[in-house]
């Protein structure tokens, strides 16, 4: 490495996962062309990497907030492009960061522009933490509830959120830990496949979510009268059912879900309340990459024979935020929002708002993680195309993450000072 070349990550090389950083290089020759690289390994051992080529200014400096990349994983001015454009070295792999305990470690480096990788001139390591300083993490095994509770530092009181991120194959802590780092008490729960829970399920019981909500409301630092619920994909319809049938839910975020109960029958107090809307496997479209496209495989929820599956969203007493991606290839999320909005208006309801993102795919997550075009779908048993264009998807995640926090703060009001975790 050349000692006079410096690669700096500002304001600090340590930050929260959802925080932007400024990447700057100094000490290059005037107008020198260099390749910037980023590399990371997820918790499954899959390597992700990106690269972009820049030309230094007259002072031998490169600033990713100012300067455009002219080739590589992206082109143009993209301050966080090296992060969101990282791709797995293997096909159909989604970046796995389920545990909050270990940071997302990214190695940034700057190289001479040569054939191959080019000589490394400087490097720096960015530690992107999922959990802020002072946020407590408590595994929960109480009654039937299995999950992890995250609580911000300080006395509170804080608004409470139930995170239905993952419903099988383990428990994802990322979104919950980051929300707690932003001043919310968050319980993320599993439905199956975690700890001592069954590996698979054939039906879903709302009683489980009711128990989780009661547990959350009992926590000392919780100040909101009701709780918020945040979801994604299949858990979107579960969140809607929770908001429609259970009390104590003041704000629900639905992200790329369905307007009907999907895949499993839904029970409450041992009675079946909603049958499942099922998939037509013959409508799954294969592609050359080996992944399949499932956008049109879910049966039509508005067909006469499927109307019993529709969730009576007009029964929800709290506020609703519908977030949809217009290029979702998992299913037609935007169309399902239209169904719900029409139904709510027909019932004279105005307790909802919606936002949709052109060019975004199915997996909308906290920002600055690697974009995922395709990965294994547990229910389908094959890699599925998620849709989206990387740059548009990354911008959608930044906007959505801010929107979600503003929505919860506006509708989960509680007295007392709120603190914000800092790393």
* Marked catalytic residue, from 233, 244, 325, 375: 233
Across 68-170, the runs of DSSP E, i.e. the strands, are: 71-72, 87-88, 104-112, 120-129, 136-142, 145-151, 160-163
Quote the longest CA-to-CA distance of the chain.
73
- Inter-residue long-range contacts of 166-172, CB under 8 Å, 24+ positions, other chains counted: 166/98, 166/190, 166/235, 167/191, 167/192, 167/234, 167/235, 167/238, 168/192, 168/193, 168/200, 168/201, 168/378, 169/193, 169/378, 170/98, 170/194, 171/98, 171/146, 171/147, 172/98
Q: Clarify whether 3 is annotated catalytic.
A: no
**Is the peptide bond preceding residue 223 cis, with omega within 30 degrees of 0?**
no
CB-based burial of residue 198 (10 Å sphere; 0-12 exposed, 13-18 middle, 19+ buried)?
exposed
**Is the peptide bond preceding residue 157 cis, with omega within 30 degrees of 0?**
yes
User: What are 357's two structure tokens?
Assistant: 């993102």
Expressed in angstroms, the distance from the first to the final Cα of the chain is 30
Q: What is the dihedral of CA 411, 416, 420, 421, to 10 degrees?
A: -120
Rounded Cα distance between 212 and 144, Å, is 8
Q: Clarify whether 111 is annotated catalytic.
A: no
Rounded Cα distance between 130 and 146, Å, is 20
Helix spans in 182-332 (H): 206-217, 234-245
Q: Would you tell me how many other CB atoms lie within 10 Å of the CB of residue 116?
A: 6
Rounded Cα distance between 364 and 237, Å, is 16
* Marked catalytic residue, from 111, 205, 362, 377: 362
CB-based burial of residue 343 (10 Å sphere; 0-12 exposed, 13-18 middle, 19+ buried)?
middle
Q: Clarify whether 362 is annotated catalytic.
A: yes
Please identify every residue annotated as catalytic. 233, 328, 362
């Amino acid at each position: 490495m050349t000692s006079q070349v410096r690669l700096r990550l500002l304001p600090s090389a340590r930050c929260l996962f959802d925080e932007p950083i400024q990447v700057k290089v100094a000490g290059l020759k005037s107008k020198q062309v260099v390749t910037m690289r980023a590399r990371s390994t997820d918790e499954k051992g899959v390597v992700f990497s990106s690269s972009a080529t820049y030309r230094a200014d007259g002072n031998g400096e490169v600033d990713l907030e100012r300067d455009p990349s002219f080739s590589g994983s992206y082109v143009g001015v993209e301050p966080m492009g090296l992060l969101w454009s990282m791709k797995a070295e293997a096909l159909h792999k989604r970046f796995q960061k389920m545990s909050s305990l270990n940071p997302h470690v990214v190695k940034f480096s700057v190289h001479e522009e040569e054939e191959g990788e080019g000589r490394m001139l400087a490097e720096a390591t960015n530690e992107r933490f999922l959990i802020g300083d002072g946020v407590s993490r408590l595994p929960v095994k109480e009654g039937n509830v299995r999950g992890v509770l995250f609580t911000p530092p300080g006395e509170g009181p804080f608004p409470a959120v139930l995170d239905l991120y993952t419903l099988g194959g383990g428990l994802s802590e990322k979104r919950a830990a980051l929300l707690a780092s932003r001043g919310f008490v968050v319980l993320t729960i599993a439905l199956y496949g975690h700890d001592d829970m069954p590996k698979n399920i054939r039906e879903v019981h709302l009683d489980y979510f009711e128990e989780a909500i009661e547990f959350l409301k009992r926590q000392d630092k919780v100040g909101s009268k009701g709780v918020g619920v945040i979801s994604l994909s299949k858990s979107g319809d579960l969140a809607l059912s929770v908001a429609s049938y259970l009390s104590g839910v003041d704000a629900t975020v639905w992200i790329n879900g369905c307007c009907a109960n999907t895949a499993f029958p839904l029970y409450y107090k041992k009675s079946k309340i909603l049958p499942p809307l099922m998939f037509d496997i013959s409508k799954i479209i294969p592609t050359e990459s080996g992944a399949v496209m499932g956008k049109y495989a879910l049966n039509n929820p508005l067909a006469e024979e499927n109307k019993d599956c529709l969730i009576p969203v007009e029964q929800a007493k709290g506020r609703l935020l519908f977030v949809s991606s217009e290029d979702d290839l998992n299913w037609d999320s935007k169309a399902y929002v239209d169904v719900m909005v029409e139904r709510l208006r027909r019932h004279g309801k105005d307790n909802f708002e919606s936002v949709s993102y052109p060019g975004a795919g199915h997996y909308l997550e906290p920002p600055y993680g690697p974009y995922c075009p395709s990965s294994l779908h547990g229910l389908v048993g094959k890699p599925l195309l998620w849709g989206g264009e990387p740059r548009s998807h990354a911008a959608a995640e930044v906007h959505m993450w801010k929107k979600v926090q503003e929505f919860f703060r506006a509708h989960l009001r509680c007295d007392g000072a709120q603190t914000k975790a800092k790393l």
